[in-house]
């Protein structure tokens, strides 16, 4: 299907972008375009205008500052995967991004775009949550765990943009990641990602088993899985039935925890 008629704007800086996005017309944001363009084409979204933020310099760059690895919201996934800074400070992120779609998708999709799209089956937001990341916006700094409040719903206000993702530079002692999907380039059905911190504390996030990612924190594997079981709210969609998601989620969570406990990465 063809795209519907759209007006198009390209701001020159973040301030101008926020003003455009805060207008009464409530335009859609174009970053990498891997989610919004198909949604507009197939009538899943109805905005009549686009604000293109893909070339804003303020959304670029990968740097270290004040104990955090800072990744600009507009940095494409392929650039994150090839970054020596990310390889040193957040190798789990590179592993997870390598599972996102095909190379063509990773060459355009951005971290900020994936977070703002807020798909509960996406592996990237859950990974940033498990890494205890913060999300810098044009108005505030949020914990990644507090950003999404429902399927394709966030706490972002009108005109508020994600500027960067800030990951604490903590040397984790283990990590695990498991997912199920129909093919190697399709969206995940359900999955889990876990890390073990130097203190021995475990962080587990399950995605695709509720309208938002499920975070559980603690030192005891059995208690974490018990926490998880009471919070699973599976749903039906075109990829899987709720019953299947509910059965598979605890299995993948256990595998991710076992890998995190037994690994040295």
Q: What is the CATH number of the domain that holds 29?
A: 3.30.43.10
pLDDT at 3 over 80: no
- Do 160 and 67 fall within a single domain? yes
- Domain harbouring 251, CATH code: 3.30.390.50
Question: Taking residues 24-42, what's their average pLDDT?
Answer: 80
- Do 42 and 72 fall within a single domain? no
pLDDT at 103 over 90: no
- Do 126 and 209 fall within a single domain? no
Per residue in 143-200, pLDDT (tens digit) is 999 999 999 999 999 999 999 999 999 989 999 999 999 887 778 999 999 999 999 9
- Domain limit, last residue, from 140, 168, 196: 168
Share of residues in the chain with pLDDT > 90 (%): 73
- Do 45 and 128 fall within a single domain? no
pLDDT at 264 over 70: no
Per DSSP, what are the bridge partners of residue 175?
A: 195
Per DSSP, what are the bridge partners of residue 51?
A: 9, 29
- Do 81 and 148 fall within a single domain? yes
For 110, the token pair is 């951005």
Question: Taking residues 124-130, what's their average pLDDT?
Answer: 97
- Do 221 and 252 fall within a single domain? yes
- Do 145 and 206 fall within a single domain? no
- Average pLDDT score over the chain: 92
- Do 243 and 217 fall within a single domain? yes
- Domain limit, last residue, from 168, 201, 233: 168
pLDDT at 201 over 90: yes
**Domain membership flag for residue 214:** yes
Share of residues in the chain with pLDDT > 70 (%): 98
Residue 100 to residue 23: CA distance in whole angstroms: 33
pLDDT at 16 over 70: yes
Question: Taking residues 45-59, what's their average pLDDT?
Answer: 88
- Do 48 and 83 fall within a single domain? no
104 burial (CB, 10 Å; 0-12 / 13-18 / 19+) is exposed
- Domain limit, last residue, from 126, 143, 168: 168
**Domain membership flag for residue 240:** yes
**Domain membership flag for residue 2:** no
How many domains are contained in the chain? 3
Question: Taking residues 57-79, what's their average pLDDT?
Answer: 95
- Do 232 and 182 fall within a single domain? yes
- Do 72 and 101 fall within a single domain? yes
Question: Taking residues 47-56, what's their average pLDDT?
Answer: 88
pLDDT at 265: 60
Domain extent, residue 38, equals 7-52
pLDDT at 184: 78
Question: Taking residues 113-136, what's their average pLDDT?
Answer: 96
Radius of gyration of the chain (CA): 18
- Domain harbouring 98, CATH code: 3.30.465.10
- Do 35 and 104 fall within a single domain? no
**Domain membership flag for residue 1:** no
pLDDT at 259 over 90: yes
pLDDT at 87: 96
For 149, the token pair is 């409040």
* Helices 221-229 & 242-262 angle (0-180, nearest 10): 160
């Amino acid at each position: 299907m063809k795209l519907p008629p759209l007006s198009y704007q390209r701001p020159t800086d973040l301030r101008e972008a926020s003003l455009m996005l805060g207008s009464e017309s409530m335009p859609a944001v174009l970053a990498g375009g891997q989610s919004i363009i198909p949604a507009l084409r197939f009538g899943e979204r109805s905005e009549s205008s686009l604000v293109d933020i893909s070339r804003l310099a303020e959304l670029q760059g990968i740097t270290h500052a004040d104990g955090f690895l800072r990744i600009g919201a507009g940095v494409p996934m392929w650039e994150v995967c090839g970054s020596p800074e990310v390889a040193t400070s957040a190798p789990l992120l590179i592993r997870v991004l390598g599972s996102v779609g095909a190379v063509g998708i990773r060459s355009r999709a951005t971290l900020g775009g994936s977070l703002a799209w807020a798909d509960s089956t996406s592996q990237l937001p859950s990974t940033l949550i498990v890494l205890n990341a913060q999300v810098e916006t044009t108005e505030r700094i949020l914990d990644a765990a507090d950003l999404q409040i429902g399927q394709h719903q966030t706490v972002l206000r009108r005109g508020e943009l994600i500027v960067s993702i800030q990951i604490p530079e903590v040397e984790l002692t283990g990590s695990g990641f498991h997912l199920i999907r129909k093919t190697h380039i399709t969206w995940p059905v359900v999955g889990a990602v876990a890390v073990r911190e130097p203190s021995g504390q475990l962080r587990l996030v399950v995605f695709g088993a509720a309208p938002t990612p499920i975070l559980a924190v603690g030192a005891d594997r059995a208690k974490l899985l018990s926490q998880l079981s009471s919070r699973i709210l599976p749903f039906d969609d075109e990829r899987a039935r709720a019953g299947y998601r509910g059965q598979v989620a605890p299995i993948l969570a256990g595998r991710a925890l076992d890998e995190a406990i037994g690994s040295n990465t």
